[in-house]
Each structure stands twice: as C-alpha cells, then as structure tokens.
Amino acid sequence: MKYKSTRGLIKGISFKEAVLMGLADDGGLLIPESIPSITQDDLMALKDKNYQDVAFYIMSKFVGDIDKEVLKRLIDESYKTFDTSKIVPLVDLDDFYLLELFHGPTLAFKDVALQFLGNLFEYVLGEKGENLNIIGATSGDTGSAAIYGVRGKKGVKIFILHPKGRVSKIQELQMTTVLDENVFNLAVDGTFDDCQYIVKEIFSDLDFKRKYSLGSINSINWARVLAQIVYYFYAYLQTKESERLDKINFIVPTGNFGNILAGFYAKMMGLPVNKLVIATNENNILHRFVQYGDYSIKGVVQTYSPSMDIQIASNFERYLFYLYDEDADKVKASMENLRRERFIKFSTEELKKVHQDFDSTTTDNSETLKVINSVYHKKGYILDPHTACGVDGALKLKDKYEEKFICLSTAHPAKFIDAVKKAINKEPVIPDRIQKLFDKEKRVYDMPNDVSVVKKFIEQHV
C-alpha cells in the first residue's frame, strides 16, 4: 500500500514515510492510494478473534513495509497498557450500545491510537537511526494520550500546545505532571483552533520542518486514523446484529472529524454501516455542514465537552477529497477559501452525497446535563459529557432509523468531575491513577498566541 496527498503533489510514499511525514509536504493530508475491501466472509472469520488479532488483520492491509511479525509485536505491546482484555468493550443499554474507548492509560479514546503510534515511532526511528520532534495541538485528550504514548521513548521529543484554561483540570494534570525530559507542555493564550493554527503554520514552513525533523501525532497523522478504523470493526463484531450481518448505525461525538472519519473508511471497506452520525456540542460546524451545507467558521464557545470546542476540523480535508471525487485541485482551492474567507460552499449534489453516509445532531449544555442525569437514573451508568452528546443524538434519532446505534464513549467520566457532579449531584468514582495526579509536581510553559514565539521555543529545546 502506498500513500498520496489530498492536494496531489505527494504520491507513492510508503507507510513508514507517511507516518514520519505527518502533514504532507504539499500542505495536504496523507491518504491510502486505494481502499482495501473486506467481504462478509472475511468479516465473519474475525468473529471470535480478540482485539489485537482484529487490529493486525485490518492494519496489515494498509502496511506494506513493516514485517508482519514486527507489526504484530507492536500491536500486542500497545494494548498491554489497557485495563480490560477486551480493550474496547461493548455495553448493551437496550436503547443503544456504548463502545467504551476509555480503558487506556489516560482514560480517553485517543489512547487506542496513540499507544500504537508511540511504539511505531520508536520502531521506525530506531530502524532508521533518526530522531523526531513531535509537535501537536490538543483540545484536551490528544495531548495527554500523545504524551503517555511517547514519554521516555528513544529518539523522540514531544511539544504539545493546549489552550490555557480551556481544558478540564484532569486533562491539564495528565499533561503537566509528566516530567520526562522528552516532554514539553505549552499553554497557549487562545483557543484550540489557535493552537492548531500555530502547529499547521509551523509544518507549512518546510525548511523549519526539515531542519528540526518535525513530525505529527495529531489525527492529521494517517496512523492515528488507521488505528481507529479497527474499533469500528471490533464493535460491530460484538453486537447481536453481526450474527445476521445486519447493518448498524454509529454515532460519534467529534469535533476534529478524525474519529468519525475512521468510521467512514470502515464503511468504504465493507463494514455493514447504515449511517454515521456526527454528534456535536454548541460548536456545531459539522452539524451545520451535514444539515445545511454551511461550513462557516464562527466563534468557539466553552462547553461541558471541551474536547469538542472546535471550529476547524483538521481531518475534514480527507473527507473532502472523496466528496470531490478525488479532485485534488478542488480540495486545495476549498481549503484556501476556508483559510481566506472562513467558509466553504457546497452544491446541492454534493450535499446529497454527504447525506448518503452521514447524519448529525447537536446538543447544548443543558441537554448534556439532562442526558447524563437520565441515563444515570435509568441505567445506573455515568456518561462523560462528550459521550452524553452522542447518547442525546441517538435518543433523538432512534425513531428515524430502524438500525440500532453504537455510541462511541470517548472518555471516562472521572475526567470531567465538575460537569458530572452538576448533572447527578455526585462525583464519579475517581480511579487511583487520576487521584494521584493532584499531588504530583507540574511543569508547563506559558506561551502567547504567536507562531514565532513557539518556533523559537522549539529551536531552543530540540
């Protein structure tokens, strides 16, 4: 399998090259040159496999330049850090399923991909005898999961930008209490979109990127999306519907489009998916896009689900490539228009294509608290506020679709104690690994919202 850029100038690169490049050198995002297919027989052959075996089967279709035994070892090592043998267990709550993606070391879905990516980086860099300086932006969960994925790894330093005061207390502590010498936390005076803009500007300076061997751990890195494709297959295989190969719906709390994009690839590969539903909070650009073709950037509002407080979805460009029938020039023009005019226009025909795959919902702060309260009192199950947006959407749409919903549960409720306590008047059980954070030493560097200042900091510390 070879990889190419959504903007057309980078083609024919290997998986390992794609992993280290992160953002394509032409400013686009790297995608596979073809989409492998999985038949119904293939799917049923995976029915009784464990998560690691399913991951190996799916990933090996996209990885052509890593020995199979090495790939299997990297996968097995990556999921030893999870607290359940199922890795991502499925819970049946009658009206819908919940796919628990929060059993990794930082209690968020990002661990599923970033534990793998950390091991992958160490292997590839060791093989090449090279070093890598990772630059990433986070709205909360990516940063801590990325840090835990590469802390102490040979040949890697990591610089994570987060919006100061705009992540939860637990998310902040999970990042800033990691004192390994290869970890640098930068608190930027701005929003997540500001952090993401700084990272993209740094990567667009190709001389700087090459000079300091910069790489990406954000979901712009293809390996992140690849690792997430796996749990869509594994989730489906755990359902009653898989016995008859019935279709199912997925509803995904998402702000950056990476998590739902993995489901889009799974569907293209042949997973029996009826509809992929994007669940948003009040920062609902993706909902407006799906429903009305309105992809216009507005101000970011703070919500109880801060990891979705995003207006510029960094993975959206990958979907545009397929929506535009793989017209790289059109992708480039649309992304330039978004940068310049802060919107993208879509035709009626394009919107029809969107509706073949996607639906969407939006959930405000009061609805978020209500659904946490309702599910707790009806089922005795505590949702985090991001997952609550997904469950709210599933309940709103349950009469619209015959197929049952799998809601991706993206974080442990203990990461959002204040919102949960406000909803149910009690705190969730705090795992020991979270409780211990409050007494740990912290290290963080405050930064202005300024690309040049961040670049200077990187120069001084690589």
Instruction: Cite the active site residues.
Output: 110
CB 265 within 8 A of CB 31: no
| Token reading at 427 | 């705190």
Instruction: Give the C-alpha separation, 235 to 214, whole Å.
Output: 34
- Give one word for 8, left, alpha or beta, with left for phi > 0 and alpha for psi -120 to 50: left
- Contacts of residue 375, defined as CB under 8 A and 6 or more positions apart, other chains included, come to 93, 381, 382, 383, 388, 391
Instruction: Give the C-alpha separation, 458 to 462, whole Å.
Output: 6
CB 216 within 8 A of CB 258: no
Residue 318 CA: distances (Å) to CA of 255, 296, 310, 328, 415: 15, 18, 17, 10, 30
- Contacts of residue 127, defined as CB under 8 A and 6 or more positions apart, other chains included, come to none
Residue 351 CA: distances (Å) to CA of 278, 316, 323: 15, 15, 9
- Give one word for 358, left, alpha or beta, with left for phi > 0 and alpha for psi -120 to 50: beta
Buried b or exposed e, range 152-177, using 16+ CB within 10 angstroms? ebebbbbbbbbbbebbbebbbbbbbb
| Token reading at 23 | 């953002």
DSSP per-residue letters across 338-393: HHHHSEE---HHHHHHHHHHEEEEE--HHHHHHHHHHHHHHHS-PPPHHHHHHHHH
Rounded to 5 degrees, φ, ψ at 303 are -130, 180
